[in-house]
Structure 1
Amino acid sequence: MPETVLLSQYPLPYHKLGSWTTLYMNYLNTDHQIDHIICEKPIKSPLFKNVNYVTFRKSFKFKVIQKITKNTQYQYIKKLKKLIKPGNKYVIQIVDNFKIVPQIEELITAYYQRSDFYIQFFYHSYPPFLSKEKGISFFKFVNEIVLLTKSSATIHEDYYKIKPHNFSILYNGIDSRKFFSISEKEKIIRKNEMGYSGKKIFLWVSQDKPKKGLDLLLKVWKTISEKYPDILLLVAGSTRVIESNSIQILGKVPNDMMPQYYQMADYYVFPTLCEEGFPMSLSEAVKCGCHCIASSIGGVPEVLNYGTYGKLVTEPFSEMAWTEAIEEALKYKKNPYLIPEDIYSINQWVDGMNTLINNAKIKLQRSS
């Protein structure tokens, strides 16, 4: 039976926040199909069960070799070569690590049979990453590209002029045990408990980078808050100092505390100015029943089912467009968008991952 090897750029469990690391950690707590993980030795414990860890440390020697060779991937290749047994078959999963692919190709070509390997590459952004020239060799070697949205797959197909069967789609999955909607009565109680009684709560959650659109939102907010004194913007993920009665900076909020903010919020604003793959925070807000208002860029329209699950701002760089979208949202006493209860669940993601691995193993066995 073919074995599955995950090459992880981060140690698992991972002690920091991250979208795909969170997904894999959820997956590894289920009846998963990962046989081996090659990664840096994890800081966080306990380690996951029913999986063989092949780890390394970023020692002084490691850093010296990396500096001399300018090769950040050599430890992974070294451990992979030690793990693989000639004649056995392997599904190798790579997540967002384009640099390692040519080195794996070189390793397999030199020591093994290419037909004994099925390479799955998971890409968690949206636009094509490689140039057309580099993409030719990349797509010849990789068996399957797993993308976050169908629209991303279409763009890749058009850009690289490759066949659709090279792509699979796996939407991000959210833990429904933590992220779920609450009733209006419960929402009022939650607001009272947290000191936001009588307020219409807007929530922004992200790392505070220019491409995330917070500066744009704050400009819009300055105008809107003067007109609507009962609104409050909660900003999670930023440590800015802003003096305003209509804005509260929450700082960096631990992930396990985020559900209470999503559930309490009436509106979730996502003014991204870049092409994102499948934003976790937006997905979490959808799961918690927020009235979502988001930029119509990248994978966002597909996450909101092209306007079925929330408002899409088709001119996301325009202050006027955002002002109009927020004012329109304020006309509704409750969220007008009906969200399926099972949408974007982690269970769906786990089933999807298992299907991807099983299909890869079937193809490997047929290649015998």
Structure 2
Amino acid sequence: MKRVLISNTPLPSTRIGSWTNRITRLIENNPNFFDFILSPTEIPNDSFIFCEKKKWIPFFPARFRSWHILSHVSRQFVNRFLTLDIHREKVQVLIMDDLILLEAFARLKSKGFDFELVFSFHGHSFLFGGGWSQQVDKVLFLTNLGYEESVERNEVFTPIVSVVGNGVDSSRFFPLSQNEKLARKVELGYNPESRILIWLSNPRPKKGFHLFKELLKRIIPKFQGLEIIVIGSESPISEDIPNIRYLGKIPNNELPYFLQIGDFYAFTSLWKEGFGLSLAEAAKCGNRIIAANSGGIPEVISNLPGALLVHHPNILEEWEAAFDIAWKERDDFFPNKNLLDGFQSLENWEKRYLKALVS
């Protein structure tokens, strides 16, 4: 079988991101698995082929949608795919997290081209846009909850499904020993007796940054020795709130250095998360998780000791009550390194992902 991976995000990738990092690692660990990778790659060669989508034309007549998608928006991907010397063999096409590209190749299949079409979806749930969806052979989901909601949203849902989850590198994201953690805190200028609450994301409203700001106004006055680290945003919360350090955007390979000194991690998402990779990274570094009941999150942390789920994440009082519990139990929470090694591990994800593609 010949395998073609298609992505509208450049691959391989060294940028800050979630699925791009793990797919890049999967490609590096299995260099012969994909025969061709079509993307807006920054390092084109015989296997990594440059393709990019064109912008959608506003107000384009709906009756010409098929032409618009195949011959304009996705033209480079479609044309380059058709020129590959693979069409005398069995072919598998893997579309990475892009419903427009998925529709383009489903419509291509409906014109008589023969290949297995697989969609790797990295959100929570999705709605197919038309009858072309029955050309999709497989869908890879992050959680069972995402699969179940997608079935509910679609009147007809015909693909074979695999739930592959997500993965975090246990060799980089792991808890420090108590002595190592205290030494790291001192190294970064913290009192070793302080307790650190971490928030990591971009400051968009759907990530709950505005909610986190209001939560801090309630909990900082209550708990002496509480320090805050904000990663991903340089926007000040308030000049009146002390003990906050803003780190802005930092590369994924530098995250463990800071996550490993954290005691609590607040995941304040206010939309249906597909998985919440930063949450898993923070958990593997030993933080006690306080997370919104959003999307696939309940499934992700279902077997994580000490995790607290906020069932009504728009209600500040519930976040405050959850943090009250975490603070009271702060001296009784000890991360288990052996257990965390296996929690959402990258190695297990890679095995599941490859198995889903070859089965």
Normalised to the residue count of structure 1, the TM-score between the two structures is 0.86
Work out the CA distance in 2 between the residues paired with 1:57 and 1:312.
40
> Structure 2: where are the runs of 5+ without partners?
61-67
Work out the CA distance in 2 between the residues paired with 1:240 and 1:171.
32
Describe the SS at the equivalent of 2:289.
strand
The alpha-carbon distance between structure 1 residues 212 and 279, as it changes in their structure 2 partners (threshold 3 A), is same
2:196 to 201, 209, 219: 201
Q: 1:10 deviation in Å?
A: 1.6
**2:306 maps to 1:312:** no
Work out the CA distance in 2 between the residues paired with 1:330 and 1:10.
41
CA contact (8 A) 2:139 2:161 kept: yes
CA contact (8 A) 1:306 1:312 kept: no
Q: 1:64 deviation in Å?
A: 12
Partner of 2:162 in structure 1?
168
CA contact (8 A) 1:301 1:307 kept: no
Partner of 2:101 in structure 1?
100
Describe the SS at the equivalent of 1:335.
coil
- Please, which moves more after superposition, 327-336 or 280-289? 327-336
Q: 1:53 deviation in Å?
A: 2.0
Offset from partner CA, 1:129-172 (integer Å, 9 cap, x none): 33xxx25431x110011100011111122332556872110111
> Structure 1: where are the runs of 5+ without partners?
360-368
Answer 1 or 2: which has greater helix percent: 1
1:157 to 148, 151, 176: 151
1:230 to 203, 221, 225: 225
RMSD, aligned CA:
2.6
Partner of 1:39 in structure 2?
39
Work out the CA distance in 1 between the residues paired with 2:354 and 2:151.
25
**2:257 maps to 1:276:** no
Partner of 2:16 in structure 1?
17
Offset from partner CA, 1:18-62 (integer Å, 9 cap, x none): 2111111111121351121011231xx6x79xx82222479xxx7
2:50 to 41, 51, 55: 55
Q: 1:63 deviation in Å?
A: 7.9
**2:140 maps to 1:146:** yes
1:179-258 aligned within 5 A: 179-197=173-191, 198-241=193-236, 242-243=238-239, 244-258=241-255
Partner of 1:363 in structure 2?
none
Work out the CA distance in 2 between the residues paired with 1:164 and 1:293.
36
The alpha-carbon distance between structure 1 residues 158 and 105, as it changes in their structure 2 partners (threshold 3 A), is closer
The alpha-carbon distance between structure 1 residues 75 and 348, as it changes in their structure 2 partners (threshold 3 A), is same
1:262 to 254, 259, 263: 259
The one-letter code sitting in structure 1 at the alignment partner of 2:180 is: E
Work out the CA distance in 1 between the residues paired with 2:323 and 2:95.
40
The one-letter code sitting in structure 2 at the alignment partner of 1:73 is: S
Partner of 2:343 in structure 1?
343
Work out the CA distance in 1 between the residues paired with 2:142 and 2:290.
20
CA contact (8 A) 1:3 1:89 kept: yes
